[in-house]
């Protein structure tokens, strides 16, 4: 499902503050696998996820997502990729604070051809499954951390993605919420999604449902 071949990412190439964030990264994630990208902060995990999502272009190398090479895709097609196939759960949730929960969740599908009613139906279904349906019309900044996270997850699911990318999803959660997050992820895996999760949270160590762990340190795979 996801394949990286010799990915390099260098910021400010040729300038005095040049930094080589990723060095020759190669790995594969098969369909329906749950893979952890493990490593301390600053190791380049977020960058890898961003490259897979088409948010950043690698300096060199190839990225293949669901059979398609995306490294050189222009913005329009990269955006389509994200809208079609990927659900991204960000480290800081990245919700739009002044919007309600349901508005946040439906945002990804607004440019699409689906009707408003269809989108709202979907959103409500997902919100029910995640037990946040009662909060749907509340403005996001008034929700608790756990609730915000579930809104972020719901948003990542609204477009029926094939791939879930999660960047340090448990960084701002307590143990109880972290475990409930894990539950949700397990259920998603059961539904057939491919999951790539970047984290250095020990809660992900030694879990049976995890298919693969990739260790990243200073931009290189160990």
Partner 1 sequence: MSVLLTPEVIILLLEDLLLLAFNTIAVFIAYRIQKYFDINDTSPKQYTLEKQTYLASYIIKFSLYLKIASIIFFIFTLDKLSAIIPGAMCAVGVTSASGYGVYLLILKVLNIYLYGSWLLINKKDVEREDYPFTRIKFKYFLYIYFFFVLEFILQTLYFFDINPQQLVSCCGTVFNEASTSLLGRFTQIPNSISLPIFYLLFILLIFTSLKKKIIANGIINFFFLIISIVTLISFFGTYIYELPTHHCPFCLLQKDYYYIGYLLYTVLILGTFFGIVNTFLKLLLKIELNYFKLSLIFNSIYVILVSAYPIHFYLVNGVWL
Partner 2 sequence: MNLKLIDYALKSLKRRFGKKLAVTFIFSFLVFLLVSVFSIATSLKTELLSSVDALPELIVQRMKAGRQALIPVERTYKIATIPGVEKAYDRVWGYYYFLNANVNFTVVGLDFDLEAYKQKYNDIIKMYSNITDTISTPYMIAGKGVKKILEENFYDKYFNFIKVTGGKVETTIIGTFTDKSAMETNDVILMPENYVREIFDIPEDYATDIVVRVPNPIEVNVVKRKLQYMFPDCRVISKEDISGSYQNIFDYKSGLFLALLIAAFIAFFILVYDKTSGLSLEDRREIGILKAVGWQVENILQIKFIEGIFISLFSFFFGTGLALFYVYTMHAPLLRNLFTGASILKPTFELIPVIDFQLLFLVFILTVPIYIMATIIPSWRAAIIDADEVMR
Interface ranges with partner 2 (CB under 8 A)? 46, 50, 53, 55-56, 75-76, 79-80, 82-84, 86, 88, 90, 92, 94-98, 103, 107-108, 110-111, 113, 116, 119, 155, 159
Distance in Å, CB of 115 to partner 2, minimum = 8
d(CA 10, CA 65): 21
Among 71, 151, 156, 185, binds partner 1 (CB under 8 A): 71
Nearer residue to partner 2 within complex by CB, 66 or 211: 66
Report H helices in 130-174: 145-157
* Residue 208 contact partner, candidates partner 1, partner 2, none, CB within 5 to 8 A by sort of partner: none
Helix (H) or strand (E) segment spanning residue 105: helix 101-106
Q: Can you give the length of the chain in residues?
A: 222
4 binds, among partner 1, partner 2, none (CB under 5 to 8 A by kind): none
Closest to partner 1 by CB, 52 vs 140, is: 52
φ, ψ at 21 (rounded to 5°): -80, -35
Instruction: Choose, by CB under 8 A, the member of 16, 67, 74, 192 that binds partner 1.
Output: 74
Q: Coil, strand, or helix at residue 213?
A: strand
97 binds, among partner 2, partner 1, none (CB under 5 to 8 A by kind): partner 2
Write out the H or E segment, with its range, that includes residue 69.
strand 68-69
Query: What span, in angstroms and rounded, lies between the C-alpha atoms of 112 and 10?
Result: 34
Residue of the chain from 6, 31, 77, 174 that contacts partner 1 (CB under 8 A) = 77
Q: Is 222 helix (H, G, I), strand (E, B) or coil?
A: coil
Structure tokens at 142: 């008034």
Query: What sign for the dihedral angle of Cα 42, 44, 45, 51?
Result: positive
Instruction: Between 27 and 114, name the residue whose CB sits nearer to partner 2.
Output: 114
- Site for partner 1 contains 75 (CB under 8 A): yes
Which one among 24, 32, 59, 172 touches partner 1, defined by CB under 8 A? 59
CA dihedral 193, 195, 201, 205 (to 10 degrees): 80
- Name which of residues 13 to 32 contact partner 1 (CB under 8 A): 13
Q: Would you tell me which residues interact with partner 1 (CB under 8 A)? A: 13, 57-60, 71-77
């Amino acid at each position: 499902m996801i394949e990286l071949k010799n990915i390099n990412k260098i910021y400010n190439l040729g300038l005095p503050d040049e930094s080589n964030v990723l060095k020759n990264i190669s790995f594969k994630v098969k369909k329906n696998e749950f893979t952890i990208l493990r490593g301390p902060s600053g190791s380049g995990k977020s960058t890898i996820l961003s490259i897979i999502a088409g948010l950043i272009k690698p300096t060199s190398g190839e990225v293949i997502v669901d059979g398609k090479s995306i490294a050189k895709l222009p913005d329009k097609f990269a955006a389509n990729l994200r809208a079609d196939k990927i659900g991204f759960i960000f480290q800081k949730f990245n919700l739009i604070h002044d919007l309600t929960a349901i508005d946040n969740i439906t945002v990804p599908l607004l440019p699409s051809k689906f009707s408003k009613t269809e989108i709202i139906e979907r959103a409500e279904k997902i919100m029910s499954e995640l037990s946040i349906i009662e909060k749907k019309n509340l403005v996001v900044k008034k929700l608790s951390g756990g609730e915000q996270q579930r809104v972020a997850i719901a948003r990542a699911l609204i477009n029926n993605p094939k791939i879930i990318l999660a960047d340090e999803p448990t960084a701002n959660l307590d143990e109880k919420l972290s475990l409930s997050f894990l539950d949700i992820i397990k259920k998603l895996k059961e539904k057939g999604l491919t999951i790539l999760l970047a984290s250095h949270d020990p809660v992900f160590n030694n879990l049976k449902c995890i298919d693969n762990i990739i260790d990243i340190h200073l931009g290189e795979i160990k």
